[in-house]
């Protein structure tokens, strides 16, 4: 089997952690995996050497990283020929998965996530085989003063964590592992 590509775009680093976790899960299954940063694809990179791909990007101010958009646009043809998964990392998804939040708020958050994924896919004419929303993290200890204040305000309004003395990781790692296992089977057998 050809290797599997894991490509990520990140601002604060959480999506890189997710990409490395996905890669470790695939390697534990015996797959050969290349992990690359969408901002810095290695020289001579070509996507057609891969059996399948997992792409992970995070949301900031309503948009995924522009480098992921450019990566997909550049390699779209090769990506469209293999099984692909798009992991959308956001705090909006943390709202979807927050079991203590009211139903309508969670449903609205789910629609917001879908809308941003659809807008991204339309912008680069990309049709991933699967989309998997992932709850991101509030990395208060890494933010500058302004971002910390803004994120604390947004989190507070959404009923999220406002204690800025430490970080809050909302990623459901077990659910992610189950998704990766199922995606790995699709990559092995074809769509
Ligand atoms: C300045 C800033 C803006 C953000 N904007 C959004 C947003 O518009 N929607 C959202 O769901 N999450 C938003 N987030 C949350 C990030 O998507 C979340 O923290 C994610 O885990 C970041 O991933 P990264 O560490 O890989 O960059 C924002 C975070 C920051 C710091």
Tell how far the Cα of 61 is from the centroid of ligand 1, in angstroms: 7
**Is residue 137 pLDDT above 90, yes or no?**
yes
Of 67, 90, 98, 146, the residue with max ligand 1 atoms within 8 A of its CB, to mutate for a pocket test, comes to 90
Tell how far the Cα of 85 is from the centroid of ligand 1, in angstroms: 20
According to the model, what pLDDT value does residue 165 have? 95
Domain boundaries, the chain: 4-136+171-189, 140-169
Does 58 contact ligand 1 (Cβ within 6 A)?
Answer: yes
What are 74-98's pLDDT values in tens digits? 999 999 999 999 999 999 999 999 9
Note the residue count of the chain.
191
**Is residue 190 pLDDT above 80, yes or no?**
no
Q: Which residue has the tokens 């604390």?
A: 152
What are 57-71's pLDDT values in tens digits? 999 999 999 999 999
What are 102-127's pLDDT values in tens digits? 999 999 999 999 999 999 999 999 99
CA distances from 141 to 114, 116, 134, 163, 167 (A): 29, 27, 21, 10, 6
Tell how far the Cα of 60 is from the centroid of ligand 1, in angstroms: 4
Does 89 contact ligand 1 (Cβ within 6 A)?
Answer: yes
Pick the range with the lowest mean pLDDT from 21-25, 33-37, 40-44, 178-182.
Answer: 40-44
**In the CATH scheme, what architecture does the domain 4-136+171-189 have?**
3-Layer(aba) Sandwich (3.40)
Q: Where are the beta strands (DSSP E) in the chain?
A: 4-8, 33-37, 52-60, 63-64, 84-90, 130-135, 137-138, 168-169
According to the model, what pLDDT value does residue 191 have? 59
Does 88 contact ligand 1 (Cβ within 6 A)?
Answer: no
Q: Strand pairing partners for 6?
A: 35, 54
Does 152 contact ligand 1 (Cβ within 6 A)?
Answer: no
What number does the ligand 1 atom closest to the CA of 63 have?
8
What are 160-177's pLDDT values in tens digits? 899 999 999 999 999 999
Does 49 contact ligand 1 (Cβ within 6 A)?
Answer: no
Q: Name the closest-CA residue to atom 20, ligand 1.
A: 136
């Amino acid at each position: 089997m050809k290797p599997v590509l894991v490509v990520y775009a990140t601002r604060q680093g959480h999506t890189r952690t997710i990409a490395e976790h996905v890669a470790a899960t695939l390697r534990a299954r015996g797959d050969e995996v290349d992990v690359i940063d969408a901002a810095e694809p290695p020289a001579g990179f070509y996507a057609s050497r891969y059996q399948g791909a997992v792409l992970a990007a995070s949301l900031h101010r309503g948009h995924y990283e522009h480098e992921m958009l450019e990566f997909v646009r550049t390699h779209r043809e090769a990506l469209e020929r293999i099984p692909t998964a798009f992991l959308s990392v956001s705090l909006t998804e943390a709202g979807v998965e927050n079991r203590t939040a009211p139903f309508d708020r969670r449903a609205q958050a789910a629609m917001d996530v879908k809308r941003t994924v659809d807008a991204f896919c339309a912008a680069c004419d990309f049709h991933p085989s699967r989309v998997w929303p992932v709850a991101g993290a509030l990395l208060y200890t890494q933010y500058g003063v302004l971002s910390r204040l803004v994120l604390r305000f947004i989190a507070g309004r959404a009923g999220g964590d406002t204690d800025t003395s430490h970080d809050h990781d909302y990623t459901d790692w077990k659910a992610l592992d189950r998704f990766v296992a199922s995606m790995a089977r699709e990559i092995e057998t074809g769509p």
